[in-house]
Amino acid sequence: MVYMSKPLSALFAYRTMHLLLVMLLAMLLQSCSQSGPVPINTEHQSVNRNERVRLLVLHYTAINWERSLKALTQPGATAVSAHYLIPESFDPTYPADKPLQVYQLVAETQRAWHAGASRWEDRSALNDQSIGIELVNLGWCHQRTVPFAEPGNNELCLTPDFDPAQLQLLANLLKDILARNPEISPTRVVAHSDIAPSRKQDPGPRFPWQWLANQGIGAWYDNQTLLKYWQGIKAMPDARMVQRALQRYGYGIVVTGEWDLQSRDVLLAFQRHFVPNRVSGELDPETVAVLWALLEKYFPDSLNGPENLALTLE
């Protein structure tokens, strides 16, 4: 039998204890790494919440497929993107061996940079709460710096008809998005020009909003209600009343009581969407009738009660 001196015995015990501690720590670390996700109890769900996505914004690219794809996916002087891009038929820059299809460029759970400075209802900076869809279309619009006195002659839009195959892809995509996002009500399917009327004109007055509405997508007025207002208006409402009505529908207009430049820009956007045969930026009986027909359909409470936006009809 070999006997150790006391110093050697103490050193051996110290090293043995250190080794045991190292092994114990390694076992604990291994146990933590294998423990998996932290258990989460979801028994108590708050009712104080809503969906993050509540707006659909439609655009046109004004450039062909090849340039659109590059602009929306690659770095550039101005960084832009969209959740979806839909090409059009007979575009010579689109690959001939590929069927027309929807391209997702940004996941819906992520923020795409498509809206810019924007406002709808009580929200601004709408990239945070919207899905943006770009349609390849070579349209563009230009407004006169000094407006003509005659309504209907103040905007020049050279917008080709939208491709029926492209539109059907769009409709199918929108139905899918709407089914998954209940916060997107009909009046929250909007044009880029609706949310940024002083900067944008897309998708222009030739985009078929009524066709979409006939498929259950977005807002449109009822013809009989439109006729009721068009025939029954005794006098044109003043600027303040029209501004309040546009604001109630969703437009980011400031109620000033004056028919100012912002009012003209917002009315142009409204007319492109709902009165494309009268894109003038000026009030007329048809535009007023359409606006109030929409309020009656989607915001009937605004016509009575505190808001009191009801028009006097004959």
Please confirm, yes or no, whether 258 is among the known catalytic residues.
no
Domains annotated on the chain, with CATH: 50-220 (3.40.80.10), 221-314 (1.10.101.10)
Question: What is the token pair recorded at 221?
Answer: 């007025």
What confidence score (pLDDT) does residue 304 get? 87
Secondary structure element (H or E) that encloses residue 179, with its range: helix 164-180
Task: Report strand pairing: 130-135 vs 55-60.
Answer: parallel
Q: Report the side by side order of strands in the sheet with 189-191.
A: 103-104, 84-86, 130-135, 55-60, 189-191
DSSP 163: P
Please tell me the distance from the alpha carbon of residue 183 to that of residue 177, in angstroms, as a whole number. 11
What confidence score (pLDDT) does residue 207 get? 96
The structure's pTM equals 0.83
**Residue stretches of the chain with pLDDT short of 50:** 1-4
Q: Which residues pair with 190 in a beta bridge?
A: 57
Q: Which residues pair with 124 in a beta bridge?
A: 119
Task: Output phi, psi for 60, to 5 deg.
Answer: -115, 155
Catalytic residue of the set 88, 134, 155, 296: 134
Task: Report strand pairing: 155-158 vs 140-143.
Answer: antiparallel
